[in-house]
Amino acid sequence: MILHGVLHILNGESRLDDNTLLANCASSSPFVAGTAFLQNRGCANGEFIVVTGTPGKVGNVDVFCMDDAKPVGTSVPNMLTIIPKTATKPAADPQNASPAASPKSAPAKPKPTKQRARKGAGKRQ
């Protein structure tokens, strides 16, 4: 599983901005070891990071047991490289949009055409 967010380190515990507690679950001191794990991979407080692992528990506390982590940086272009893209409809360009048809007007009916009588038509011989 992959999680991403801003890393917050406080009192030896590391959390993502959604309050997910990060841990090195294989360690006897999972929270301190989790913070060291992140720092050894170049992740710093306030930085946007990507973490892989699995949800788990340390005692009765829900945690995310990390396998790997990497800093993505704090700039918006770096963050956009890992945020999934969703398909969206492009907005209409108001400069190129054609005027909308008025709901009051109905399509024009064809005008009746007058047929001209041909010379000699209709005469009996």
Residue boundaries of the structural domains of the chain: 2-80
pLDDT digits (tens, 9 = 90+) for 14-63: 999 999 999 999 999 999 999 999 999 999 999 999 999 999 999 999 99
pLDDT at position 83 over 70: no
Mean predicted confidence (pLDDT) in 71-84: 59
Mean predicted confidence (pLDDT) in 4-20: 93
Joined together, the tokens standing for residue 66 give: 């990390």
Q: Which residue has the higher pLDDT, 125 or 119?
A: 119
With 0-12 / 13-18 / 19 or more C-beta atoms within 10 angstroms meaning exposed / middle / buried, residue 34 is buried
Mean predicted confidence (pLDDT) in 54-78: 85
